[in-house]
């Protein structure tokens, strides 16, 4: 029994599962706990600047988690002797293939969110903080970007939940 618990494959799966927990758990924590509290506790400008810090820190965790998910995901596949060039030939392969498509979309959405929306919203909040008031044009642009960024984050979470459902189907 101990042989199984401490086999290299158990550790690889452990890293895969822990990375998924860190990645998706972080998103759920931000959406369900942090954001509602920040919305009631802080004025808009401070909220955006604080949220930018949270975003930067969470980005480090999420890129490490995503890298580990990809590396250990391929190892999981090797463990199951997946024929990567003929993925669609088996039912297991087709589910894995679908999961990989969703993971690819998640990666694109995450990049767009971090590199465009996160940066732009922070820039606008910093500009308002420097000039000392909310220029109506800047405020409107920030509001627009925040709504789009929220929609993108919600989409990202949904896609990730589908990835986990497909993962559950893989091991069922
Ligand atoms: C957002 C990224 C990902 C998430 C959230 C995720 C999540 C999960 C979860 C929760 C499991 C079930 C754990 C288990 O019981 O072993 C799993 C299994 C698996 N994942 Fe991922 N995964 C991701 C990316 C990947 C990638 C990129 C690959 C392949 C390159 C991959 C390949 C696999 C395989 C093959 C299994 C099944 C292992 C088995 O049959 O024993 N995953 N994944």
Q: What is the pLDDT of residues 98-112, one digit of tens each?
A: 999 999 999 999 999
Question: For the chain, how many residues are written?
Answer: 172
What pLDDT score does 6 carry?
81
- Ligand 1 pocket member 103 (CB < 6 A): yes
What pLDDT score does 57 carry?
93
pLDDT band at residue 48 under the 50/70/90 scheme = confident
Distances (CA, A) of 105 to 15, 23, 98, 147: 22, 15, 11, 20
What pLDDT score does 51 carry?
86
A 10 A CB-CB count for 158 gives 12
pLDDT band at residue 142 under the 50/70/90 scheme = confident
Average of per-residue pLDDT across 133-149: 86
- Ligand 1 pocket member 76 (CB < 6 A): yes
- For atom 9 of ligand 1, the residue with the nearest CA is 167
More confident residue, 78 or 121: 78
Domain boundaries, given as residue ranges, for the chain: 2-171
Q: pTM of the prediction? A: 0.90
pLDDT band at residue 129 under the 50/70/90 scheme = confident
- Ligand 1 pocket member 70 (CB < 6 A): yes
Average of per-residue pLDDT across 56-69: 95
Q: Which long-range contacts (CB under 8 A, 24 or more apart) does 132-138 make?
A: 134/44, 134/45
Q: Cβ distance 79 to 9 under 8 Å?
A: yes
Residue 143 belongs to what H/E stretch?
A: helix 136-171
pLDDT(19) > 90: yes
CA–CA separation, 66 and 103 (whole Å): 9
What pLDDT score does 122 carry?
85
- Ligand 1 pocket member 37 (CB < 6 A): no
pLDDT band at residue 32 under the 50/70/90 scheme = very high
């Amino acid at each position: 029994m101990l042989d199984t618990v401490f086999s290299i494959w158990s550790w690889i799966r452990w890293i895969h599962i822990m990375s998924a927990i860190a990645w998706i758990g972080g998103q759920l924590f931000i959406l369900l706990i942090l954001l509602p509290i920040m919305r009631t506790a802080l004025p808009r400008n401070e909220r955006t600047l604080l949220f930018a810090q949270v975003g930067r820190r969470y980005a480090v965790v999420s890129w490490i988690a995503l890298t580990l998910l990809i590396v250990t995901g391929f190892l999981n596949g090797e463990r199951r002797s997946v024929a990567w060039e003929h993925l669609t030939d088996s039912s297991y392969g087709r589910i894995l293939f679908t999961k990989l498509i969703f993971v690819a979309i998640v990666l694109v959405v995450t990049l767009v969110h971090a590199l465009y929306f996160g940066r732009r919203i922070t820039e606008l909040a910093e500009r308002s903080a420097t000039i000392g008031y909310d220029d109506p044009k800047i405020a409107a642009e920030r509001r627009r970007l925040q709504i789009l960024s929220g929609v993108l984050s919600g989409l990202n979470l949904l896609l990730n939940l589908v990835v986990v459902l497909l993962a559950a189907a893989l091991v069922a």
